[in-house]
Chains A and B, each alone.
Chain A
Amino acid sequence: MDRAEVDAKIRELAEPFNKKGIEIKEDTTFQNDLEFDSLTVMDFVAEIEDEFDIIISMNQQAEIETYGQLVDAVHKLQAAA
């Protein structure tokens, strides 16, 4: 899967969690812009993990602040899986 495909899939998965319908750009942050709390993060990450059959450990999550960083990380992880 190339980056654009990964992006499209994650966008689709993020939709139900984006309660305020905020426009998601590469530099949109999960904590401040999308206001994801820890429970939302867990559910969202679980959906991505199941979709791409990967693990995004808490250690890796700590490095991810923006949407673009998430797409990069998932793109890399699914290529290696």
Chain B
Amino acid sequence: MSEGIIQADQPQTLEGDGKDLFSKFDDIINLRENLLASGQEDPFNLVMEKVLSPTRAVCNGRETILLGTYNYMGMTFDPDVIEAGKQALADFGSGTTGSRVLNGTYQGHKECEDALREFYGMDHAMVFSTGYQANLGIISTIAGKGDYIILDIDSHASIWDGCAMGQAEVVPFKHNDIEAMEKRLKRVPEGAGKLVILEGVYSMLGDVAPLKEMVAVAKKYGAMVLVDEAHSMGFIGENGRGVVEDAGVIDDVDFIIGTFSKSVGTVGGFCVSNHPKFEIMRLVCRPYVFTASLPPSVVATAATSIRKLMSGSEKRAHLWENSRTLHKGLRDLGFKLGTEEPQSAIIAVIMPDLEKGAAMWEALIKGGLYVNLARPPATPANMTLLRCSLCAEHSEEEVGKILDIFETAGKEIGII
């Protein structure tokens, strides 16, 4: 599931009742107005006036510790990354003004794809303008009418949209349920194309998929496997290749989808694969063809960052340390968490309801801490969550301060 905040990840059918096409949004408008009428600071309209570091910013006038970004590896202010971006901006200009297949492929795009191939040890890499477009493009292009997509019900919005765009038969199964997945694979009509879509880390609760078992089951039924590793790249696995690496199944998956907007620290998306015919995607994948390519400075920062992440084992170790400390600390304070053990850099604190969740969010932001407020329908089981995502650059002292702020706010709101 995704950070869509007030939208479900699955496309919803909205019904308008009159001539105003906006009337279908009335429920959302009302919900939002009621929340803000109580004097609540708007959780979905935060402005960072200044960004001081990967972990600090001035938000709504207050210096704030950032615990709700996807800057897991803290690469956004890395001096080498910044320098590479500046150099590319000077040498290649501010933008490409074109599609990858026309005038939009520069040296930097090729170098970025080289870095990805090396990072994952795969034959092919294709860079998209965003992670959303990578899922949208690859899924909709490879799974068309008559093919079957078997996917986890908690999949990200970009996956659902890719499924809808390709017009394949879409068959969801209960979150992380191996048996439910196998039952559905077994029932796919003989001869139909099959694509299984999984995520390494699910971003709402920060839980990890049982990829070892699931990939084996998918292969048993002759399905191709696509794994979205957006929230694990750079951090999980010995070389930061994701949950597929950690689970020992990287050679069995057909496609890995990822993003530059999390650990890599810029924007963009990609797909890596060993499929021998993969390069044809560049000509047939509409979200790749019909959009402008990433600016030279962005691909230069991405390539530099990806290469540095290859040797980021110390940072990975510190991030795990942070994740364990925060998880244990919050649990000891009496908060209810999304996972029994820390499984990723995301720790979800479960709120009793939306009202308390919004109040808690406000108490935290006033105390100098930013986290993500996530609420139904974007969350599994209609939960209201305060999602904390850690950074390798959070110091031990900062994690201690974060716990202090949580304790004060939790007592004030009456949750602990």
Contact = CB atoms under 8 A, between A and B. Distances in A.
Q: Are these two chains actual partners, yes or no?
A: yes
Interface of A: 37-39, 42-43, 46, 49-50, 53-55, 57-60, 62, 81
Interface in B158-215: 163, 167, 169-174, 180, 183-184, 187-188
B194 to A, nearest CB: 12
Q: In terms of DSSP, what is the predominant structure of the interface of chain B?
A: mixed
A50 B148 CA distance: 18
Nearest to A45: B172
Given A42-B153, A46-B174, A50-B183, A59 B381 contact: no
Given A38-B10, A39-B381, A49 B187 contact: yes
Contacts of B170: 57-59
20 contacts: A39-B381, A39-B382, A42-B153, A49-B184, A49-B187, A50-B183, A54-B187, A55-B148, A55-B184, A55-B187, A55-B188, A57-B171, A58-B10, A58-B163, A58-B169, A58-B170, A58-B171, A58-B172, A60-B169, A81-B187
B82 to A, nearest CB: 43
A47 to B, nearest CB: 11
Contact of B187 (A43, A53, A58): A53
Nearest to A52: B187
B329 interface: no
B192 to A, nearest CB: 10
Contacts, number: 41
Q: With a 10 A CB-CB cut-off, give which of B170, B381, B382 has the most chain A CB atoms.
A: B170
A55 to B, nearest CB: 5
Contacts of A37: 382
A42 B171 contact: no
A43 B382 CA distance: 14
A38 B187 CA distance: 22
Given A42-B174, A46-B174, A54-B187, A59 B169 contact: yes
Interface in B259-308: none
Contacts of B173: 46
A58 B298 CA distance: 38
Nearest to A62: B13
Contacts of A39: 381-382
Contacts of B367: none
Contacts of B67: none
Which 9 pairs, one residue from A and one from B, show the smallest C-beta to C-beta distance?
A: A58-B170, A57-B169, A55-B187, A57-B171, A55-B171, A57-B170, A59-B169, A42-B153, A59-B170
Taking each of A38, A53, A62, A81, which has the highest tally of chain B beta carbons within 10 Å of its own beta carbon? A38
Contacts of A49: 183-184, 187
Contacts of A62: 13
Interface string B114-130: 00000000000000000
A57 B143 CA distance: 14
Nearest to A43: B174
Contacts of A60: 169
